[in-house]
Structure 1
């Protein structure tokens, strides 16, 4: 009888100890907040990243925020200049940045997620001009307004040989100003969504024609460190679900 009482007492004490340790574990786990330090760059990249307001927004920001929350991360926006991004990512000061694999100087050093959206570079020419584009040969003897520091692989041989002239501009919005008001510029080359966003916000959409054919089509992804495999796999799974259930299309529709 005494053995049974002793066993019962031990069992009750065990249950009480378990009950005491569970809340302690829960508090400890909740204190270990996970963060994802996401580079949005100083000037953003509308409509993919918009920074000229209190809270960042844009296609990439919205998607990353939704997915990160579901994975248990809080997103912290970091504004890192382009020339410092890769090194700061490798050194762990940031955790991810939006990038097309084709735009990376050393893509083998990083891990890339599945594409969130496609970047399509097309030409924006003054409305009712005789500009048309089917192949790079159509650009011979023309001057194209380009983004400073950007590479255009399909056009590089033409630029190097001088058959097509490029005029570099540092801000996306200024590219359209030069084309519209400069007599010696034939067209600007820019991402389709970026161009449409700028023209809509500047009230200039009716002043430009946009070519149906472009010079590139790249997947815009997250670029991460190579040790973020688990996050990348989870991100891809959530992104696929958003694409399937229409959430991604709803985000894109806000910026078209």
Structure 2
């Protein structure tokens, strides 16, 4: 074979290898916090498969795949995870802006969905009334470290007693055992727990919800370039009803 033909073959093979490398860029890694205690139906670890499942992983999976982002779930508690996000040790967590200590240091997505807190009780509650009418002189089961804007005035004035627990599951157990008069809980989490852990128990909730919150993803600022595309993706999922479908699926899933 002539020398010029050899050179052409070598050059073409080199270009082919370069093109192959460019066609399959290395995936970017994103560390997403999985809260402990876990928060179904939003995000939790399946007991049998140990896979992280729930509304949030289902909704976000397609976007991360489109962006060639590989998600690594990192287990941590709520308070420590927030400070790790400020330091850039993790990339994203499920967190509402009003719950953060330094919101100006983070980027927040548009809400995936909204939820409200409700009072849950062992006995039927009056259809009409104000929060003050229900909670004065009562003990209320709450999550440890959580700030409840609707209840804080009553706790500060000692008109109601706060009974903390480490998880929502413990809240309902304490309520059923008579340790408190009410449990104050996120509607979606309460529905999941009642369906999966207390299917034979009858609990009642207040006619009105309190403190509506949009559940967002909080990102470290280094993800600023991806935020607009992420928000557009969320809007499409909401318009298509995908988020509502996944919520219903995980609340009622056996």
TM category, shorter: 0.7 to 0.9
Name the CA distance, whole Å, in 1 between partners of 2:166 and 2:127: 25
The verdict on how the C-alpha distance between 1:205 and 1:78 changes in structure 2, with shifts beyond 3 A counting, is same
Residue of structure 2 equivalent to 1:83: 79
Provide the TM-score with structure 1 as the length reference: 0.86
Residue of structure 1 equivalent to 2:177: 181
The structure 2 residue matched to 1:26, chosen from 20, 23, 26, is 20
Name the CA distance, whole Å, in 2 between partners of 1:171 and 1:86: 18
Aligned residues: 243
- By how many angstroms is 1:17 displaced? 5.0
Q: What does the per-residue CA deviation read over 1:112-137, in whole Å, with 9 as the maximum and x for residues that have no partner?
A: 00001112111111144x46674232
Q: What does the per-residue CA deviation read over 1:161-193, in whole Å, with 9 as the maximum and x for residues that have no partner?
A: 1111111111211111111121x6211000001
Q: Is 1:35 the equivalent of 2:29?
A: yes
Residue of structure 2 equivalent to 1:218: 213
> Aligned with 2:94: secondary structure?
strand
The structure 2 residue matched to 1:121, chosen from 92, 117, 122, is 117
Contact 2:119 / 2:184 at 8 angstroms: preserved in 1?
yes
> Aligned with 2:52: secondary structure?
coil
- By how many angstroms is 1:205 displaced? 6.1
- By how many angstroms is 1:28 displaced? 4.6
Provide the TM-score with structure 2 as the length reference: 0.86
Residue of structure 2 equivalent to 1:46: 40
- By how many angstroms is 1:142 displaced? 1.4
- By how many angstroms is 1:221 displaced? 0.7
Contact 1:38 / 1:76 at 8 angstroms: preserved in 2?
yes
> Aligned with 2:226: secondary structure?
helix
* Structure 2 residues not aligned, in runs of 5+: none
Residue of structure 2 equivalent to 1:4: none
Name the CA distance, whole Å, in 2 between partners of 1:185 and 1:65: 39
Name the CA distance, whole Å, in 1 between partners of 2:16 and 2:208: 61
> Aligned with 2:174: secondary structure?
helix
| Further displaced range: 212-221 or 86-95 | 86-95
The verdict on how the C-alpha distance between 1:202 and 1:223 changes in structure 2, with shifts beyond 3 A counting, is same
Name the CA distance, whole Å, in 2 between partners of 1:52 and 1:230: 32
* Structure 1 residues not aligned, in runs of 5+: 1-8
The structure 1 residue matched to 2:102, chosen from 101, 106, 114, is 106
Matches within 5 A, 1:48-63: 48-53=42-47, 54-63=50-59
The structure 2 residue matched to 1:227, chosen from 222, 228, 246, is 222
Contact 2:150 / 2:210 at 8 angstroms: preserved in 1?
yes
> Aligned with 1:149: secondary structure?
coil
Residue of structure 1 equivalent to 2:156: 160
Name the CA distance, whole Å, in 1 between partners of 2:32 and 2:231: 17
Please provide the CA RMSD for this pair: 2.4
Name the CA distance, whole Å, in 2 between partners of 1:195 and 1:180: 13
- By how many angstroms is 1:22 displaced? 5.2
- By how many angstroms is 1:46 displaced? 0.9
Name the CA distance, whole Å, in 2 between partners of 1:133 and 1:62: 38
Structure 1's consecutive aligned runs of 4 or more residues displaced over 6 angstroms after TM superposition are none
